[in-house]
Amino acid sequence: MATYDISVAHLYGDLMNTYGDYGNIIALKYYATKIGVTMNYHLVSLGDRFDSSAFDFVLFGGGQDYEETIVAEDLKQKATDLKQYIENDGPLLAVCGGFQLLGHYMVMADGKKVDGIGVMDHFTTNMYDKSLTVLSGKRLTGNIVIKNNDNGEEYHGFENHQGRTFLGQGERALGTVISGNGNNGMDHSEGVIYKNVYGSYFHGPIFTRNGNLAKRVLATTLQRKYPDIDWQSKLNTVPTESF
């Protein structure tokens, strides 16, 4: 009997795991197990090479400003491989700080500008940016509900960030804000979709509360690796959980 497996890279899982972002991997594993797929977990952290051909799914979680500065330095040597992975339609979930660092730059609460790797076109400014007239000077914290514009699904979560992210070329929002703040508290966008990359400010983690999104991303991951099987149909037979 054929066996199916996926290899998951947890980027800086030892440094970037705010509010248990690792739970996203547990949620994926839950649904994978239900359809007989095994998961291999790999922590890819400081000094490790990110091999773009070795992984089927990548999680890049959130972290606070201090951890982000450490990670930003190391990330430079992974930028080319990560770009290749993303452009090659590799599925990736980036949460909060991880989402920020895939863009051009982020400005921390103290005003220091940290370079991202610019493999995606967004940028993040800070809460004291004088050009921002809405909600400046406050962290964007609390429960949030968004609606995905492609399929009408609602996603529920919790956000806690000072950075204000603005999307760029080729990027669209993961959803439109129904309640809460989203990427910047101004344009009603939350998160990002670019190719098979999903970014979000949702902590807590997004896949456990939004099993339909977890199943969709898992289906994409499996379809890319094993194109001859209808993975979405298989996953549709598994009840969607909200943990």
* Residues of the shown chain interacting with ligand GLN in the complex, contacts defined by CB under 6 A: 18, 62-65, 68, 96-97, 160-163
Say what angle helices 23-34 and 211-225 make with each other, to 10 degrees.
70
Q: Fill in the amino acid letter for 1.
A: M
**DSSP-assigned letter for residue 67:** H
Q: Output 226-235 pairs: Cβ under 8 A, ≥24 positions apart.
A: 226/4, 231/35, 234/35, 235/31, 235/35
Distance of closest approach, residue 142 Cβ to ligand GLN, in angstroms? 13
Min separation Cβ 59 and ligand GLN, Å: 13
Q: Which two tokens stand for residue 88?
A: 């090659």
| DSSP type of residue 104 | S
Q: Report residue 119 as tokens.
A: 């493999």
Of 68 and 171, which has the nearer Cβ to ligand GLN? 68
Residue 90 or 204: the one with the smaller Cβ distance to ligand GLN is 204
Q: Determine whether the annotation assigns residue 139 to a binding site.
A: yes
Q: Is 96 a catalytic residue?
A: yes
Minimum CB distance to ligand GLN, residue 110 (Å): 11
Q: Given 10, 42, 96, 122, which residue is catalytic?
A: 96
Q: Which of 10, 122, 161, 203 is catalytic?
A: 203
Nearer to ligand GLN, 148 or 162 (CB): 162
Concerning whether 203 is annotated as a catalytic residue, the answer is yes
Query: Is the Cβ of residue 29 or residue 161 nearer to ligand GLN in the bound state?
Result: 161
Three state DSSP letters for 170-185: CCECCEEEEECCCCCC
Residue given tokens 């902590």 in the structure block? 203
- What is the nearest approach in angstroms of ligand GLN to the Cβ of residue 157? 12
Query: Taking phi first (over 0 means left), then psi (-120 to 50 degrees means alpha), and beta for anything else, what does residue 230 get?
Result: beta
Binding-site positions for substrate: 139
Catalytic positions are 96, 203
Binding-site positions: 139
